[in-house]
Amino acid sequence: MSKVYLEKMLKDLSFYSEVEITHTFSKNKRPLVTVDCYKNTYKLTFIANKNTEIYDNIEDAATAIHNVLNGTLEESTN
């Protein structure tokens, strides 16, 4: 999944700013990260270790998701 597509998806989700939306990203049917979108913040929860990271912009959140899906980053460094 391209970073541009991820940014578009997050932007689409951000239009529903008054509703909390959770989306799970998987690879080979294995959940890797969930994203909670609420009021233009993006909380990523890494499934493997349950660590979370919060982003206040689409670009950084999309980069983190892209890295996880492409094996560049398997879990949060926090």
8 Å CB contact between 65 and 27: no
CA distance 13 to 77: 25
- Give all domains of the chain, ordered by start, each with its CATH number: 3-69 (3.30.720.20)
Which amino acid makes up residue 3?
A: K
Residue with the two structure tokens 């949060």: 76
Query: Tell me, what's the pLDDT at 77?
Result: 45
Strand, helix or coil at 52? strand
pLDDT tens for each residue of the chain, 78 residues long: 899 999 999 998 888 878 888 899 999 999 999 999 888 899 999 999 999 999 999 999 999 999 999 986 544 444
Residue 67's nearest CA partner among 27, 37, 36 is: 27
33 in Cβ contact with 61 (< 8 Å): no
